[in-house]
């Protein structure tokens, strides 16, 4: 099996003290760095949240709303977020704990000001009811990847959407559970059940490292 490691949004703005801090996010950095150096992964991909300041998902651009309000956008729920990962800001860079020389591809998400983007594989729904591809599935297919292992931030949004889209793209898909963290950990049990029901494997990094 040719494996790809997908590192989702490991950026300073999701770390403690960042614009959209995820509790415990810094605790996954050492484990991710260890996996990046593991030769069992044929391909390493990193996603990077990369919003223009006028992005539709930012609460600042909806004067009548506050961060974490949920609105309807193009017929689907859209969470409004505090400012985070604004293009060219310090909080938007890939975290320095990631060895850049080990990364084969970077997927920048959320660059369209009118469409949010959680998944590494597809943007969220646009005004036409479509979810445009990022090109990642084609890239992995070209490299003969058949198994995708997802870690990073946040477990209940971008990691989950990435994993579900990976299954839809017919990759054998695993979430490395201990190397993810959630915006809202209270929903983790339900999220795990949803992922497994849709064909996603839940794995732990220590067992993954023991496979070879």
Annotated catalytic residue 116: no
Annotated catalytic residue 151: no
Which stretches does DSSP call E strand in the chain?
3-8, 41-49, 70-73, 76-79, 105-109, 147-153, 172-181, 201-203
- Out of 13, 49, 109, 116, which one is annotated catalytic? 109
- Out of 13, 156, 158, 165, which one is annotated catalytic? 158
**Token duo for residue 112:** 């369209």
The count of other CB atoms within 10 Å of the CB of residue 109 is 24
The whole-angstrom separation of Cα 168 and Cα 11 is 26
**Token duo for residue 49:** 């949240």
* Neighbouring-strand partners of residue 109: 49
The whole-angstrom separation of Cα 127 and Cα 104 is 32
Tell me the CA end-to-end span of the chain in Å, nearest whole number. Answer: 13
- Out of 9, 26, 116, 156, which one is annotated catalytic? 9
Annotated catalytic residue 3: no
Which residues participate in catalysis according to the annotation?
A: 9, 109, 158
């Amino acid at each position: 099996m040719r494996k790809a490691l997908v590192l989702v949004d490991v950026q300073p703005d999701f770390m403690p003290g960042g614009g959209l801090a995820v509790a415990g996010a810094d605790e996954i950095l050492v484990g991710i760095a260890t996996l990046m150096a593991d030769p069992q992964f044929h391909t390493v991909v990193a996603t990077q949240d990369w919003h223009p300041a006028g992005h539709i998902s930012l609460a600042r651009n909806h004067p009548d709303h506050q961060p974490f309000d949920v609105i309807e956008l193009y017929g689907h729920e859209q969470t409004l977020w505090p400012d985070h990962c604004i293009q060219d800001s310090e909080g938007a860079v890939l975290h320095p704990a990631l060895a850049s020389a080990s990364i084969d591809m970077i997927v920048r998400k959320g660059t369209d000001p009118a469409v949010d983007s959680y998944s590494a594989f597809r943007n969220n729904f646009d005004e036409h009811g479509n979810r445009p591809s990022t090109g990642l599935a084609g890239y992995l297919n070209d490299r003969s990847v058949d198994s995708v292992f997802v870690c990073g931030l946040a477990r209940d949004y971008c990691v989950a959407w990435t994993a579900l889209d990976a299954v839809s793209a017919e990759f054998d898909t695993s979430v490395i559970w201990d190397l993810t963290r959630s915006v809202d950990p209270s929903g983790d049990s339900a999220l795990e059940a949803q992922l497994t029901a849709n064909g996603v494997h839940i794995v732990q990094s220590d067992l993954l490292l023991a496979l070879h």
